Amino acid sequence: MLSTQSRPVIEATLPIIAERISSITPKFYQRMFAARPELLDGMFSRSNQKNGTQQQALAGSIAVFATYLVNNPETTPETMLSRIAHKHTSLGVVEEQYGIVYEHLFAAIAEDLGDALTPEIAEAWTEVYWLMAQALIKIEKGLYARQANATIYSNWKLVERTATGADSVSFSFEPADDTAATIAKPGQFVSMRMPMADGIRQVRQFTLSNDVESTTRRTVTVKLDVDGEFTPVLHNSLKVGDVVELSNPYGDLVIDTEGAPLVIATAGIGCTPSAAALQTLAAAGSTREITVLHADQEFASWPLREQMLESLGQLPNAKIRTWFERGELPEGLDAKAGYMDLTDSLTADSQVYLCGPLPFMHAVRSQALAAGIPAEHIHYEVFGPDVWLAA
């Protein structure tokens, strides 16, 4: 709970911090990585530092948290904290590291604000930082405690790789050590860690696309990003028999077997959580009313389409509608040319799940809101730092 002394100080300084936070966070990361270069080996993504998305996500989360506290001093923004905590635990963030972040973040704030940072302002923002840190630490401890093991990563051997869509590959792994594996839920992801050509380890998250509830097999489906660092190594160098490190499964965008009518709207590789959910729901004999909407460049570029169509065939109350930007439309499938239009697929009580590129999610979320779906019934997964929230 934000103290009565700090609340007016935070309220008065929020505009200046919100304005300066985008120049504070790059200074923070520069300071932290200079003092702790080991955090760039197997923890933080070098690409998200270079393209600026992690700085934006951190800045946005602090501004959102402080604004929320001023308006609701006795509660915390659960959805945002949960997303961050799931990401943190998939990377092995621990309580002791919050002191490191505090030290360098506040040094960056002091550097940026200069004399404008009075002791009173520093104290109030320190309180906000530790309220946020304590809330995250609590959720993270709970998430770690739910796992079948106490390790962050275990070794998994590649046993199969299958091309799907135009530029994606499904990679299936089996355990390469005797660490007990946690049963995942549909919609969850794992962090994968591998050394890059210069020997520095990088980590990326991938949604489990198949075999979700298996403890002896993990499958992810990965789109090649030719401008990226990790996926070219995965696509071009990883061979059957090679071993990678995978984290336990995390992620709070979980799709339940039963419940209100479900609308899953995806584009491109964003279909991985949908494919996982459909397979798990089909295996559980779900009778949930499900509408799957998928948009892609063309029919041939749609990854996991065979798996998704097979699962849909086993679900008594499921239907699919598709949109393709170019190419011939497939026969025997509800398919249209152009961009997705969600409107006709919604009912007042729909629970809507979105996954795909940000412009796509902006567009379909606006359609859902305009159709009267309450914002809290619209859930989304960003395949990178959540810069949507930051904006």
Ligand X SMILES: Cc1cc2nc3c(=O)[nH]c(=O)nc-3n(C[C@H](O)[C@H](O)[C@H](O)COP(=O)(O)OP(=O)(O)OC[C@H]3O[C@@H](n4cnc5c(N)ncnc54)[C@H](O)[C@@H]3O)c2cc1C
- Write out the residues near ligand HEM by the rule CB under 6 A: 39, 43-45, 48, 54, 57-58, 61-62, 83-84, 87-88, 91, 93, 97-98, 101, 129, 132-133, 136, 385-386
**Euclidean distance between the first and the last CA atom of the chain, given in angstroms as a whole number:** 25
Torsion angles phi and psi, residue 216, rounded to 5: -120, 5
CB of 203 to ligand HEM, least distance (A): 6
Rg (CA), the chain: 22
Q: Which of 41, 103, 167, 225 binds ligand X (CB under 6 A)?
A: 225
Assess whether 140 carries a catalytic annotation: yes
| CA–CA gap between residue 17 and residue 157 (Å, rounded) | 47
Specify the residue for token string 């660092």: 229
CB of 326 to ligand X, least distance (A): 21
| CA–CA gap between residue 380 and residue 251 (Å, rounded) | 11
Per partner kind, with CB cut-offs from 5 to 8 A, the member of ligand X, ligand HEM, none near residue 57 is ligand HEM
Q: Which of 231, 248, 345, 367 binds ligand X (CB under 6 A)?
A: 231
**In one letter, which amino acid is 68?**
Y
Per partner kind, with CB cut-offs from 5 to 8 A, the member of ligand HEM, ligand X, none near residue 277 is none
The residue among 39 and 166 lying less far from ligand HEM, judged by its C-beta, is 39
With CB atoms as reference, the residue minimizing the distance to ligand X is 228
Assess whether 68 carries a catalytic annotation: no
Judged by CB under 6 A, does residue 384 bind ligand X?
A: yes
Do 292 and 261 meet the contact criterion of CB atoms below 8 Å apart? no
| CA–CA gap between residue 312 and residue 307 (Å, rounded) | 9
Nearest to 119 by CA among 195, 13, 39, 213: 13
The residue among 136 and 269 lying less far from ligand HEM, judged by its C-beta, is 136
Per partner kind, with CB cut-offs from 5 to 8 A, the member of ligand HEM, ligand X, none near residue 61 is ligand HEM
| CA–CA gap between residue 135 and residue 66 (Å, rounded) | 13
Name residues contacting ligand X, limited to 236-295 (CB under 6 A). Answer: 251, 269, 272
Q: Which of 96, 115, 227, 376 binds ligand X (CB under 6 A)?
A: 227
Per partner kind, with CB cut-offs from 5 to 8 A, the member of ligand X, ligand HEM, none near residue 250 is none
Query: How many residues contact ligand X, by CB under 6 A?
Result: 25
Catalytic residue among 29, 127, 129, 140: 140
Strand partners, 290: 262, 318
Do 171 and 222 meet the contact criterion of CB atoms below 8 Å apart? yes
Name residues contacting ligand X, limited to 42-101 (CB under 6 A). Answer: 45, 47, 50-51
Per partner kind, with CB cut-offs from 5 to 8 A, the member of ligand X, ligand HEM, none near residue 194 is none
CB atoms < 10 A from the CB of 214, how many?
Answer: 15
Per partner kind, with CB cut-offs from 5 to 8 A, the member of ligand HEM, ligand X, none near residue 222 is ligand X
How would you list the strands of the sheet with 262-267, edge to edge? Answer: 335-337, 318-324, 290-296, 262-267, 351-355, 378-381
Structure tokens at 387: 């810069």
Structure tokens at 83: 């997303």
Site string for ligand X, 187-216 (x = CB under 6 A): --x--------------xxxx---------
| CA–CA gap between residue 285 and residue 250 (Å, rounded) | 24
Q: Which residues are catalytic?
A: 98, 140
| Interacting residue ranges for ligand X, rule: CB under 6 A | 45, 47, 50-51, 189, 204-207, 220-223, 225, 227-231, 251, 269, 272, 381, 383-384
